[in-house]
């Protein structure tokens, strides 16, 4: 399960993620990060079932986080099955089933936004 960690308060010097891993013993890996001088966010992959406990350990350090689900919203009514998104997405979120219907595995998404930007039908929206 993914956890979106918000460093929007500018608290980028404190090693909150590392110390939460040490305190809880929960395995967490960084899938994607966006950091600037005044803050940013980190998308973590956290052991299934441990998201709430890890989030609480971050909160103790003044860092907000939330479970990230439904990262990509797919509007099948707009899609024309062109397949562009299947080649654009580096995380293999999109594929076709045996009937050539688009299948979206949104849990794999790392919020890069590329699919939403380039879908010719505007059939995809990325939520974060
Ligand atoms: S790029 Fe857009 S229109 Fe093309 S298959 Fe993907 S969602 Fe459908
Ligand atoms: S936002 Fe990026 S990682 Fe997520 S589905 Fe789109 S292309 Fe793939």
The ligand that comes nearest to the alpha carbon of residue 74 is 1
Q: What is the tens place of the pLDDT at every residue in 35-66? A: 888 788 999 999 999 999 999 999 999 999 99
How many angstroms does the Cα of residue 12 sit away from the middle of ligand 1?
37
Which residues are paired to 44 by β-bridges? 3, 30
Q: What is the tens place of the pLDDT at every residue in 12-28? A: 667 899 999 999 999 99
Contact of 121 with 80, CB cutoff 8 Å: yes
Domains with residue ranges and CATH for the chain:
2-68 (3.30.70.260), 72-126 (3.30.70.20)
Kindly state if the Cβ of 102 falls inside 6 Å of ligand 2.
no
The ligand that comes nearest to the alpha carbon of residue 104 is 2
CA distance 59 to 16: 9
CA distance 58 to 10: 15
Q: What is the pTM of this model?
A: 0.83
Which residues are paired to 29 by β-bridges? 45
């Amino acid at each position: 399960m993914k956890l979106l960690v918000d460093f929007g308060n500018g608290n980028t010097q404190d090693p909150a993620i590392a110390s939460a891993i040490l305190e809880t013993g929960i395995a967490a890996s960084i899938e994607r990060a966006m950091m600037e001088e005044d803050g940013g966010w980190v998308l973590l992959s956290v052991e299934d079932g441990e998201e709430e406990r890890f989030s609480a350990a971050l909160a103790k350090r003044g860092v907000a986080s939330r479970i990230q689900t439904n990262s990509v919203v797919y509007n099948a009514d707009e899609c024309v099955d062109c397949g562009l998104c299947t080649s654009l997405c580096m995380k293999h979120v999109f594929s076709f089933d045996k009937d050539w219907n688009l299948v979206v595995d949104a849990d794999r998404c790392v919020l890069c936004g590329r699919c939403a930007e380039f879908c010719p039908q505007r059939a995809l929206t990325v939520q974060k």
